[in-house]
Structure formats: C-alpha cells, structure tokens
C-alpha cells in the first residue's frame, strides 16, 4: 500500500461505528465506542514546533507521518484517543492488562452475578516444545471437548449453588474458570495502540489475543490510514492492510486475516 493510495480524511469525534466478533463464537466482541482524532492531528502535533497548522492532509504531510514513524518520534501519535468495549475470556484480559500505559474499567463479579458465558476452543493446540509459553498445530478431540464442557458445567453449578446458599459473590467467583467471559473499557492513544499491535500481532502471541488485535486494527485503520500504513511499513511489512480496510466495512463477524 503506497501512501498516495490511502484516503486522507479527518473524521470527527463519533459514536459507536462497528462491532466485531474476533473469536467467532457469538460471545466475543470488540466495539469501538469512541474515537477522537485523525492523521491530521498527528501532523499538527508535529508541526506545532514551527507554529504551523493544517486542515487538510497532503502527500507532504503523509511523508512527514512516515518520517515520524520511521525515526521513532512518537509524541505526535499521542494526541488522539480510542475507547473500545471488549468482551473476552479472562485469560485474554489478564494478558491484555499487562499493557499498563492505558485506561481500564472492568465489570466486577463482586457487584453483579457472572453471566456464566465461557470460551470453548474450536480446536486444541499442542504445547510448543521450544517455546514454553507458546502452542503449535491444531487438532480435534471430542473426548477432550466433553471433559472440558463437563468441567465447566461443574463449575457453573457449584457457583450458582454457593450463591443460592447465601455466599457472597466476591467469594463464589473464585470458582469461575479462566475461560469465563469478562467485559472492560480499554482507552488508549495511537502510540499505545501501535505498541499493542506490534506485540500482539506477532507469531509469538497467543492466537486468541492475536484475533483481538486484528479486530482493533480493523476498526482503527479507517481513522488513521496514513499513520497505521507507516506503522505497518516499519513493524509489520507482511500485513495486507487492504484486507483490513475491506473488513472494516463489515458490521458483524470477523475473519482471521493473518493465517
């Protein structure tokens, strides 16, 4: 994708524009609930050093953004904001919140009863013998799936039984497995989002969180096509951003684009 082929626009602050189902199970979701800023704001943040201000993005401005990205001038990418509403398994959320330079507010199962929605893998993966935290391959095993489902049912029944017997939600939630769905608001700027994407789109990232990173890139790309195009050139040259731009026009569902 060349810089000249990317549309230059300056969308205003706007409400919900899209929701994607990154895990494809009808439960997971990434929803862009608010966005402020555009590629023009990146340019104006950089050019304020010279007392300059623009209202339309030119090819010269696009080249400036590419220069900023290439040479790690990161502060101009921080004068904007994304807010996403995320619904994901607890184990994905705990990986996600290792990214500390962001804002989070999460549903509390002290305050409310858990909806008891669980992530069920479509296929199993083998432990990577070389990477202690990674997985490889994929295989199906109905016996293992039944064991997984039976265990979830046991946890569900025990959780509800404790609540029925008057046990506080803050204690009963200890029975909830890591595949239980949680929800949170995730707010970041473009610099922080780009760092998240760099790490979580990599081959070493767990498949599930990688799918969420793909969804966020899909939703963010129409608003910062030049900046994310420059990020792609530097950090993820094998990505096909045209596919993400196409996917951003879809209002439901999400296809894994990197595999």
Return the active site residues: 200
- What whole-number distance in Å separates Cα of residue 248 and Cα of residue 116? 30
Provide the pairing of β-strand 81-89 with 135-139.
unpaired
CA distances from 12 to 185, 217, 249 (A): 21, 19, 18
Q: What are the φ and ψ backbone dihedral angles of 246, each rounded to 5 degrees?
A: -65, -45
116: left (phi over 0), alpha (psi -120 to 50) or beta: left
- Within 10 A of 7 (CB to CB), how many other CB atoms are there? 10
- What whole-number distance in Å separates Cα of residue 148 and Cα of residue 35? 39
């Amino acid at each position: 994708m060349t810089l000249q082929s990317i549309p230059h626009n300056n969308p205003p602050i706007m409400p919900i524009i899209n929701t994607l189902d990154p895990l494809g199970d009808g439960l997971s979701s990434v929803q862009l609930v608010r966005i402020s800023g555009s590629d023009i704001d990146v340019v104006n943040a950089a050019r304020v050093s010279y007392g300059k201000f623009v209202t339309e993005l030119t090819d010269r401005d696009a080249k400036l953004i590419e220069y900023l990205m290439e040479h790690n001038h990161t502060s101009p990418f921080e004068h904007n904001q994304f807010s996403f509403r995320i619904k994901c398994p607890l184990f994905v959320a705990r990986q996600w919140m290792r990214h500390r330079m962001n804002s989070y507010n999460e549903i509390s199962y002290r305050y409310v009863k858990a909806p008891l929605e669980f992530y069920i893998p479509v296929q199993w993966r083998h432990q990577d013998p070389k990477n202690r935290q990674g997985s490889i391959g994929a295989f199906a095993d109905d016996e293992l799936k039944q064991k997984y489902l039976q265990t979830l049912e046991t946890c569900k029944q025990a959780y509800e039984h404790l609540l029925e017997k008057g046990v506080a939600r803050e204690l009963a939630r200890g029975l909830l497995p890591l595949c239980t769905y949680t929800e949170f608001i995730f707010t970041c700027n473009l610099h922080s989002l780009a760092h998240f994407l760099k790490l979580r789109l990599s081959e070493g990232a767990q498949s599930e969180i990688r799918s969420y990173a793909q969804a966020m890139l899909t939703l963010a790309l129409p608003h910062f096509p030049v900046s994310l195009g420059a990020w792609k050139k530097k950090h993820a040259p094998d990505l096909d951003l045209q596919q993400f731009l196409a996917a951003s026009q879809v209002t439901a569902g999400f296809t894994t684009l990197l595999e």
